[in-house]
């Protein structure tokens, strides 16, 4: 590569990194946090024993898992205005990503809850706890340890999926890369640079996941 190419890489690095740090990562964090709340609610509805609540949760999960994330983004941003609901690009992206995370993470949380031995429920009832208290104090803390690895993977995948927000004009890292590439015509260089930054983000998050898992394993061992 010549000097001009290296200069382009250096000049574009900070705009890409800045967009990643102030838009991409916060977008992923906000969407994951909201999605996790939706996932917990859907998982509890699935195991509630109430036919109506379970049916609603099943339908929600089925729709989310059965349709592409890109289509979900388009429905929220381009579809809802057709019925008078207009949402700005960033909130629209958060809504779509949150709903998507909720649908996928709900099954992870449900499986984690069901993995807790039934004897734990009986132990809670024996000491006088209600079903809700047993769930909150005994079952969910144990299920949380089981669900950390798959939920961490969901979050890492979400960081990469935020690049789809570029199609609804959210100025996240990939959108900035598109703008720089369109101006410089150096598509291979700029997109490769963006890919490397995404990769570094995911490496850091994977390292954090490993640290959390080791701490949880040590806690379980004691």
Domain boundaries, the chain: 3-154+170-221
Spatial separation of the C-alpha atoms in residues 199 and 205, rounded to whole Å? 10
What is the model's pLDDT at position 92?
Answer: 96
What is the model's pLDDT at position 134?
Answer: 78
Per the CB < 8 A criterion, the answer to whether 172 and 90 are in contact is no
List, for the chain, all residue ranges whose pLDDT scores fall below the cut of 50.
219-222
How crowded is residue 102: how many other Cβ atoms within 10 Å of its Cβ?
25
Q: SS3 letters for the chain?
A: CCHHHHHHHHHHHHHHHHHHHHHHHHHHHHHHHHHHHHHHHHHHHHCCCCHHHHHHHHHHHHHHHHCCHHHHHHHHHHHHHHHCCCCCHHHHHHHHHHHHHHHHHHHHHHHHHHHCCHHHHHHHHHCCCCHHHHHHHHHHHHHHHHHHHHHHHHHHHHHHHHHHHHHHCCCCHHHHHHHHHHHHCCHHHHHHHHHHHHHHHHHHHHHHHHHHHHHHHHHHHC
Q: Indicate the pTM of the whole model.
A: 0.88
What is the model's pLDDT at position 97?
Answer: 97
What CATH code is assigned to 3-154+170-221? Answer: 1.10.3720.10
**Residue of 79, 86, 75, 91 whose CA lies nearest to 34:** 91
User: Tokens in use for 38?
Assistant: 């939706």
Q: What is the pLDDT of residues 164-196, one digit of tens each?
A: 999 999 999 999 999 999 998 999 999 999 999
Spatial separation of the C-alpha atoms in residues 56 and 40, rounded to whole Å? 14
- CA atoms in the 13 A half-sphere facing the CB of 176: 22
**Residue of 170, 152, 130 whose CA lies nearest to 26:** 170
What is the model's pLDDT at position 221?
Answer: 40
User: Tokens in use for 85?
Assistant: 């609901």
Spatial separation of the C-alpha atoms in residues 48 and 31, rounded to whole Å? 25
């Amino acid at each position: 590569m010549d000097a001009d190419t290296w200069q382009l890489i250096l000049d574009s690095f900070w705009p890409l990194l800045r967009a990643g740090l102030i838009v991409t990562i916060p977008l992923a964090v906000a969407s994951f946090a909201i999605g996790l709340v939706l996932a917990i609610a859907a998982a509890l509805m699935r195991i509630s024993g109430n036919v109506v609540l379970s049916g609603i949760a099943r339908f929600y999960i089925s729709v989310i898992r059965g349709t592409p994330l890109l289509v979900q983004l388009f429905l929220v941003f381009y579809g809802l205005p057709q019925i008078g609901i207009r949402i700005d690009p960033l909130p629209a992206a958060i809504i779509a990503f949150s709903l998507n995370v909720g649908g996928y993470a709900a099954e992870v949380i449900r499986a984690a809850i069901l993995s807790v031995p039934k004897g734990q429920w009986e132990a809670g009832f024996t000491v006088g706890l209600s079903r809700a208290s047993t769930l909150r104090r005994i079952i969910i803390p144990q299920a949380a340890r089981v669900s950390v690895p798959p939920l961490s993977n969901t979050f890492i995948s979400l960081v990469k999926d935020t690049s789809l927000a570029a199609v609804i004009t959210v100025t996240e890292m990939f959108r900035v890369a598109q703008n720089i590439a369109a101006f410089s015509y150096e598509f291979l260089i700029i997109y490769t640079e963006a890919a490397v930054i995404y990769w570094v983000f995911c490496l850091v998050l994977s390292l954090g996941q490993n640290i959390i898992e080791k701490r949880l394993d040590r806690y379980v061992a004691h």
